[in-house]
Amino acid sequence: MTDEELDKMMYEAVERIDMLDDINRSVMQELKGKVRRKRSRALWRMVLFAFGMPLGVAIYGYVAYRLISIYPSEPYFVGSIMLSVLASLYFIVRGVNNFSLSDV
Amino acid sequence: MEDREIVNEILGRGRTRCYEEIVRRYSGIVFSKALGICRGSDMAKEITQQTFIKAYTRLSDWRGNGSLAPWLTVIAMHLAVSALEKERRRRTSPIDQELPDTPYSDDHEQQLVQMEQAISTLPEADRQIIRLHYYERCSTEEVARRTGLTQANVLVKLHRIRERIKKQMKGEAI
C-alpha cells in the first residue's frame, strides 16, 4: 500500500467511524423512544385494567340487579340475566389471569 | 462481556442501554454487508439502522451462544435485498445506472474495516491527531495549535501512528 493510498484510507476510515457513530446514536435514540412508548402504553393499560374493569363490572352488576328487581316474577328473564352475569364473570376471571404488562 | 450475557441482561432485566454495546460492536460489519448488497452508502446506512432495530425487537428469537454477528448479518441481508426489490419496482430506470462514483470492492471494504479497527485501538489523543490531520485536513502547525503539542511532536506522533497502522494492516503484532 502506497503512502497516498494509506492517507486516503485513513480519511475514509475516519469518515466511516463518524458515520457509524451517527448510526449508533440514532439506533439507540429510536430504541429508547420505542421502549418509552411501550412503557407508557403498559401504564395506561394497567390503569385501564385497574379502574376500567371494576367500573364496567359495577355498572353491569347494577343494571342486572335493577332489571331483576323490576321484573322479579319472570324466572326466564332472571335466569338469562344470571347466566349472562356468570358468563361475564368467567371472562373477567380469564382476563385477570391472562393479564400481562409486557403484552402490550 | 459476551453477547449472550448482554442479551440476557436486555431480555431479563430490560436494560436497553446494554444494546448500545451490541450496536457498537457490530455496526461496522452490518454496514459493510449492507453496502456490499446495496452499493450505496445512504441505503446501507438506512439498512444498518433498520437491522439493529429489527434485531432488538426479535432478540428473544436469537438462539446462539457465540457472536451475534452472523444473525445480524442475515437480517441485514434480508432487509437489503427487500429494499433493493422495492427500489427496483419503484424506479423505471435500472438501479445499475445510478451507482455511486466510487465503486464497491470487497477487498477495499475489508481493508477499510481493518483500518477502522486499527484506528480504534489507538489512544484517544492519537485518534484526535489523525482526525485533525487526515480528515479535517489541518496542517501539522494547526494540529499542534489545537492539541497543545509542538509541531515537531505532532510530526513524530504522526509518523509513529502511520507506522503502527501500517503494521496492523499487514497483520503484524505491535
pLDDT of residue B95: 53
On chain A, the residues whose CB falls within 8 A of the CB of B111 are: 1, 9
| B134 → closest Cβ in A10, A18, A24 | A10
User: For B132-157, how does the pLDDT look when each residue is reduced to its tens digit (9 = 90+)?
Assistant: 998 888 999 999 999 999 999 999 99
The confidence score (pLDDT) of residue B15 equals 84
Using an 8 Å CB-CB cutoff, list chain A residues near B28.
16, 20
Residue type, A35: V
Phi first, then psi, for residue B75 (nearest 5°) are: -60, -45
Instruction: Say if the Cβ atoms of A23 and B116 lie within 8 Å.
Output: no
* Overall average pLDDT of the B13-42 stretch: 87
What is the helix, strand, coil percentage profile of chain A, to 5? 90, 0, 10
**pTM value?**
0.71
- Measured CA to CA in angstroms, residue A42 lies from A46, A85, B41, B49 at distances of 6, 28, 38, 26
C-alpha dihedral, A13 to A19 to A20 to A25, nearest 10°: 150
For A1-50, the pLDDT digits (tens) are 788 888 888 898 898 888 999 999 999 999 999 889 988 988 888 888 88
* Distance separating alpha carbons of residues A20 and B35, to the nearest angstrom: 13
CA distance B173 to A104: 52
Is A8 strand, coil or helix? helix
Q: Does B134 touch chain A (CB under 8 A)?
A: yes
Question: Is pLDDT at A85 greater than 80 in this prediction?
Answer: yes
Compute the count of residue pairs across chains A and B with CB atoms less than 8 Å apart: 80
Residue A14: list chain B partners with CB under 8 A. Answer: 119, 130-131, 134-135
Which long-range contacts does A25-33 make (Cβ < 8 Å, 24+ apart)?
A26/B49, A27/B23, A27/B27, A27/B49, A27/B52, A27/B53, A28/B19, A28/B20, A28/B23, A30/B49, A30/B53, A31/B16, A31/B19, A31/B52, A31/B53, A31/B56, A32/B16
- Per-residue pLDDT, A101: 64
Interface list for chain A against chain B, based on CB atoms closer than 8 Å: 1, 3, 6-7, 9-20, 22-24, 26-28, 30-32, 34-35
**Nearest-Cα residue of chain A relative to residue B25:** A24
Complex ipTM > 0.90:
no
Mean residue pLDDT of chain B comes to 85
A-chain residues near B24 (CB < 8 A): 24
Set of chain B residues whose Cβ sits within 8 Å of the Cβ of A28: 19-20, 23
Number of C-beta neighbours around residue B73 at 10 A? 17
Alpha carbon distance B53, A8 (integer Å) = 32
